[in-house]
């Protein structure tokens, strides 16, 4: 589009990220207008529209996507809607920003990526994993400079809590809404890919400790998504990956911990801080992140800037999303088959 033209945006799904980040940050960009919105009900659509001064609401998402009053569509729904809305938006000739996780499974992700490649004139973006944005550039630089030597292993341990069988049913517990995505597994794997690349072989075991939960209508639903999973993978770079992702383990150290072990050094992320040490050191010490390497949240800015031709999408491309959805499905297949699964999958 012409750089001086107003970019007209339609919103499909006003989830928490959409309300707290995407809408206000898009509205803060010059010559960007949010012109329409559709949410799960007419009442919730109107509430969000009133809150943010959005002039038009729809009762059907397809009507919004195919209307001629928008140039770009932001998809802020749960994963079960990402695939159909993305394909419709691309078909309608609209740029697309879609909330993470990319899709329900690898097949949906492949179809979304294929559609994006068939329309290179359109910008497509997935909201990125945010936890390490401020650290990524430094980690990649240290690896490139040889701080670690040869990378031996990457180990992730997420923080859980004691089992709560009476906890509410969250959409992330519901496979019909969330697909094959499991807790924070995918967002951590996305970050790991930025530093060391993807996996080539995956083995996984998991269990569902809390086997049912009660929904908002008082109905008890069976839970199929694991709440404790262990994963081992061989990375293309030669390192081994070990992930333990859980929401049901109590009295753990505070916060998630990710370590990268090399022949000459170790890097570790704890409580959003990067620590490091090399051969001869007695402990890991905080690593200062240079100001010019601190990347913040600029998802909406990158989306608009890419549409206007100023920069490419880096956080996150549909190809990267496809890679993490292939990993997600490989974990699922390995748990089902109790066998190793080779990547990339044959879809």
Q: What would the mean pLDDT of 252-257 be, rounded to a whole number? A: 90
**Block residue for tokens 């170790």:** 266
Please give the pLDDT value at position 254: 85
Residue 299 has pLDDT above 60, yes or no: yes
**Helices and strands (DSSP H and E) totals, the chain:** 11, 17
> From CA 98, how far away is CA 316, in angstroms rounded?
10
Please give the pLDDT value at position 253: 84
> From CA 32, how far away is CA 72, in angstroms rounded?
10
Delineate the domains of the chain, giving CATH numbers in brackets: 7-129+297-315 (3.40.50.720), 136-295 (3.30.360.10)
Confidence of residue 2 (pLDDT cuts 50, 70, 90): low
Q: pLDDT tens digits, residue range 145-195?
A: 999 999 999 999 999 999 999 988 999 999 999 999 999 999 999 999 999
Residue 205 has pLDDT above 90, yes or no: yes
Least confident range of 14-23, 179-188, 216-225, 297-306: 216-225
Please give the pLDDT value at position 117: 99
Residues 6+ apart with CB under 8 A from 117: none
Q: pLDDT tens digits, residue range 98-141?
A: 999 999 999 999 999 999 999 999 999 999 999 999 999 999 99
Do residues 330 and 202 touch, judged by C-beta distance below 8 A? yes
Do residues 231 and 203 touch, judged by C-beta distance below 8 A? yes
The mean of the pLDDT values for the chain is 97
**Block residue for tokens 């949906």:** 108
> From CA 72, how far away is CA 64, in angstroms rounded?
11
Q: Tell me the residue length of the chain.
A: 347
Q: pLDDT tens digits, residue range 27-63?
A: 999 999 999 999 999 999 999 999 999 999 999 999 9
Helix (H, G, I), strand (E, B) or coil at 315: coil
> From CA 239, how far away is CA 255, in angstroms rounded?
24
Do residues 195 and 143 touch, judged by C-beta distance below 8 A? yes
Q: What would the mean pLDDT of 90-99 be, rounded to a whole number? A: 99
Q: Give the burial string for 100-125 (b: 16+ CB within 10 Å, else e).
A: bbbbbbbebbbbbbebbeeeeebbbb
From its phi and psi, is residue 238 left (phi > 0), alpha (psi between -120 and 50) or beta? left
> From CA 46, how far away is CA 37, in angstroms rounded?
9
Q: What is the pTM of this model?
A: 0.95
């Amino acid at each position: 589009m012409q750089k001086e033209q107003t970019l007209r945006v339609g919103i499909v799904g006003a989830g928490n990220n959409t309300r707290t980040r995407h809408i206000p940050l898009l509205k803060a960009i010059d010559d960007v207008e949010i012109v329409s919105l559709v949410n799960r009900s007419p009442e919730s659509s109107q509430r969000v529209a009133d809150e943010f001064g959005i002039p038009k609401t729809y009762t059907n998402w397809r009507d919004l996507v195919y209307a001629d009053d928008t140039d770009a569509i932001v998809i802020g729904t749960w994963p079960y809607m990402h695939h159909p809305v993305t394909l419709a938006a691309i078909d309608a000739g609209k740029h697309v920003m879609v909330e993470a996780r990319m899709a329900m499974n690898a097949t949906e992700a492949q179809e979304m990526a294929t559609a994006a490649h068939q329309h290179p004139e359109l910008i497509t973006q997935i909201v990125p994993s945010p936890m390490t944005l401020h650290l990524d550039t430094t980690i990649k630089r240290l690896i490139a400079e040889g701080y670690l030597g040869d990378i031996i292993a990457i180990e992730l341990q997420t923080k859980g809590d004691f089992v709560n069988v009476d906890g509410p049913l969250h959409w992330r517990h519901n496979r019909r809404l969330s697909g094959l995505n499991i807790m924070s597994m995918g967002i951590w794997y996305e970050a790991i890919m930025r530093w060391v690349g993807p996996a080539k072989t995956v083995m996984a075991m998991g269990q569902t400790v809390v086997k049912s939960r009660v929904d908002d209508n008082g109905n008890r639903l069976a839970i199929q998504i694991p709440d404790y999973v262990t994963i081992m993978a061989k990375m293309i770079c030669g390192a081994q990956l070990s992930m333990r992702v859980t929401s049901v383990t109590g009295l753990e150290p505070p916060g998630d911990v990710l370590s990268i072990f090399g022949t000459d050094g170790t890097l570790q992320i704890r409580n959003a801080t990067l620590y490091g040490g090399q051969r001869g050191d007695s402990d890991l010490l905080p690593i200062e992140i240079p100001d010019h390497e601190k990347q913040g949240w600029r998802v909406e800015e990158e989306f608009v800037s890419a549409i206007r031709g100023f920069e490419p999408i880096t956080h996150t491309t549909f190809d990267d999303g496809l890679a993490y959805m292939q990993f997600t499905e490989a974990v699922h297949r390995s748990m089902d088959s109790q066998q190793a699964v080779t990547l990339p999958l044959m879809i």
